[in-house]
Amino acid sequence: VMHEDIKEVLYTEEQIQQRIREIGAALTEEYAPLAARGEKIVLLSVLRGAAIFMCDLAREIKLPLEMDFMAVSSYGNGVKSSGVVSIIKDVSTDLNGKHVIIAEDILDSGLTLSYLLKNLSSRNPASLSVVTFLRKKVEPQADIECKHVGFTCKNEFIVGYGLDYAERYRNLPYVGILKPEVYSA
């Protein structure tokens, strides 16, 4: 059973859903005036980790919006992201003149997101902002401005709620720290 591999639960399903309701309510308030003017909102996530967060968040934003996805691969030595990113799947929508909200799973080094922000801003969105489910306390971290952060967490390898270890544990409804023996096995 997946649950037996978890050493410590950091955020329960209830805490996560509560926090997402708060962020969704805040975004609804922030973007309501421009939605009322007929301006378009695009909620964008990077596959695969952020998909679960994005889908829950989308249902807490009570405004018309489009949902779109990108997939990227990060080159480097495998463990750490290098900041050299290639786009495997691009958005399907034209972002020109739209208000883009990136829903991210976790901000670690921030290198992937730095690249994406640069890339996306070249498509002339009306605005571009980041909402991240988790932000790790690490040094160094790219200086990325987040409109909302779900939780700030310590620098440990965590899984669940979209986050994986070797493609497992994404479907846990909570976030936790894996038992060390799972890595060494």
Q: Which is nearer to Mg ion, 56 or 105 (CB)?
A: 105
Of residues 5, 56, 94, 108, which has the active-site annotation?
A: 108
Q: Binders of Mg ion: how many residues, by CB under 5 A?
A: 2
Distances (CA, A) of 36 to 104, 109, 130, 131: 26, 36, 22, 22
Q: Which stretch binds ligand IMP (CB under 6 A): 13-21, 37-45, 110-118, 119-127?
A: 110-118
* Structure tokens, 5: 């591999």
Residue 42's nearest CA partner among 133, 118, 103 is 103
Q: Which is nearer to Mg ion, 49 or 150 (CB)?
A: 49
Residue from 24, 49, 125, 150 touching Mg ion (CB under 5 A): that is 49
Among residue numbers 98 through 157, which ones bind Mg ion (CB under 5 A)?
105
Residue from 16, 23, 42, 108 touching ligand IMP (CB under 6 A): that is 108
Q: Which is nearer to ligand IMP, 56 or 105 (CB)?
A: 105
Strand 175-178 and strand 41-47: the pairing is: unpaired
Letters for 142-181 (x = contact with ligand IMP by CB under 6 A, - = none) are ---------------xxx---x------------------
Gap between the Cα atoms of 131 and 148, Å rounded: 5
Assess 112 for contact with ligand IMP (CB under 6 A): yes
To the query of whether residue 108 is one of the catalytic residues in this protein, the response is: yes
Among residue numbers 46 through 65, which ones bind ligand IMP (CB under 6 A)?
49
Q: Which of Mg ion, ligand IMP, none does residue 70 bind to, with CB < 5 to 8 Å depending on kind?
A: none
* Structure tokens, 24: 């969704």
Active-site residue list: 108
